[in-house]
Amino acid sequence: MAAPWGSSGSRWSLGALLFVWGTFLGALPGEATIFPGPAEVVGRSSLQEARGGESLIEVARTHDLGFNEIAAANPGLDPFAPPAGSPVAIPGAHVVPAAVTPGQLVVNLSELRLYFVPSGGTPLIASFPVGTGSEGKETPLGIYRVTEKRANPAWHVPLSIRREKPRLPAVVPPGPDNPLGSHALRLTVDGLMIHGTNRPWGVGRAVSHGCIRLYPEDIPILFRLVSLGTPVAIVREPVKVGSQDGRLLIEVHRDDGAGIDYAAEATRLILARGALDRVSVTRLLRALAEKRGVPVDIDR
């Protein structure tokens, strides 16, 4: 199951969500992606018209999406200068990764998205787009823990980065020039952090030196939700299967680093649910071929 801790696809009223946001965070999170749980599929996709002079990078941030998500959902559309009036798919729905369990933060490298379900209290699913490590500096897979939480962190520049950019000082103080942004969570691996950024265009891209970066407006929310000692699972799940309103959905992301047979993985996940007899082969094959990173109904 995509979310073994529950399968309800129900939604709360806007008033209930606002109450929960206020209770958990002390303030409304604006465009933050926080959903009621438990659920196997969260969020809702939509369409809007492109506006003159607005890139898909800006549209993505407005809807708390990464650049990779908006680009994959709109193949053939110029991401930097989409023609005004063009339909733009907003991929706001997400199948929750199988690795997600209460109290564990999950980063799915295949979709460049983070998920967190707090333990106890009001059931919530928080999900944010992330940027990760570039080729040769990949964010490492594994299970880690949050060992330090720091607001307004100073950046102690690693020697490897100073060799690349010798003009950098040994320490960058808090402020607009600090690439860690306003908050940072340090993990058990030396140098590995989840933090904000002063370069939001890098969210939804593999461009960091290995750390996991969030939009400036998202990192304070995650910072409040996560406690010291929280386990962090960094995984690759390019194929996810979930159920919503009695329908079977599959979400497929293009992830060349996963090294899997997509059809075999999809079949494995569907068989594990005992749902192979209800699948439309045509719809399944189309989803596997397109890899648009959006939930696709594959029921007959």
In this structure, the dihedral spanned by the alpha carbons of residues 90, 2, 21 and 152, taken in order and rounded to 10 degrees, is -80
Based on the residue annotation, tell me whether 63 is a catalytic residue of this protein: no
Contact 125, 117 (CB under 8 A): yes
Q: Under a CB-based contact definition with an 8 Å cutoff, are residues 218 and 225 in contact? A: no
Could you tell me if 213 and 133 are in contact, meaning their C-beta atoms sit under 8 angstroms apart? no
211 is catalytic: yes
Other CB atoms within a 10 A radius of the CB of residue 67 amount to 24
Beta strands in the chain (DSSP E): 34-36, 41-42, 46-49, 87-90, 94-95, 105-108, 113-116, 124-129, 132-133, 142-151, 155-156, 171-172, 183-187, 193-195, 206-208, 212-213, 231-235, 239-244, 247-252, 296-297
Q: Are 21 and 31 in contact (CB under 8 A)?
A: no
Q: Which of 63, 94, 183, 195 is catalytic?
A: 195
Nearest Cα to 129, choosing from 288, 272, 253, 46? 253
Q: Which of 94, 183, 211, 253 is catalytic?
A: 211
Separation CA 39–CA 5 (nearest Å): 8
Active-site residues: which are they? 195, 211
